[in-house]
Amino acid sequence: MMILLPPSETKRPGGKRGPADPSSWALPGLLPQREQVLDALVALAADEGETRRVLKLSEKQLADAVRDNGALRTAPVQPAVDRYTGVLYDALDAASLDGYARRWLGAHVRIHSAPFGPVGALDPIPSYRLGAAASIPGLPALRRLWADRVTAELVAAAPDFVLDLRSEAYVDLGPVPTGVPSAYVRVVTAQGRALNHFNKHAKGALVRRLAEMRPRIGSRRTLLGWARRSGLELRETQDRGVLELVTDQPTTRS
**Cα–Cα distance for residue pair 19/170, rounded to 1 Å:** 26
Determine the pLDDT at residue 253: 44
Helix 142-157 and helix 31-45, axial crossing angle in degrees, nearest 10 = 150
Count of C-beta atoms within a 10 Å radius of residue 106: 18
Total H helices, total E strands in the chain: 10, 9
pLDDT of residue 252: 45
- pLDDT number for residue 24: 97
Comparing C-alpha atoms, which of 148, 150, 144, 176 is closest to residue 163?
176
- The pLDDT value recorded for residue 141 is 95
**Angle, to 10 degrees, between the axis of helix 99-108 and the axis of helix 197-213?**
110
CA 239 vs CA 23, 160, 195, 243: distances in Å:
37, 21, 18, 8
pLDDT of residue 240: 84
The Cα 226–Cα 206 span in angstroms is 12
Single pTM value for the model: 0.94
pLDDT, tens only, 171-230:
999 999 999 999 999 999 888 777 777 899 999 999 999 999 999 999 999 999 999 999
Domain residue spans in the chain? 2-246
Q: What is the DSSP letter of 133?
A: T
Order the strands of the 234-236 sheet from edge to edge: 117-120, 109-113, 2-5, 162-164, 182-188, 242-246, 234-236
Q: What are the residue ranges in the chain where pLDDT is below 50?
A: 251-254
pLDDT at residue number 251: 45
CA distance 128 to 215: 33
Cα–Cα distances (Å) from 95 to 34, 77, 105, 106, 237, in that order, read: 26, 15, 11, 13, 34
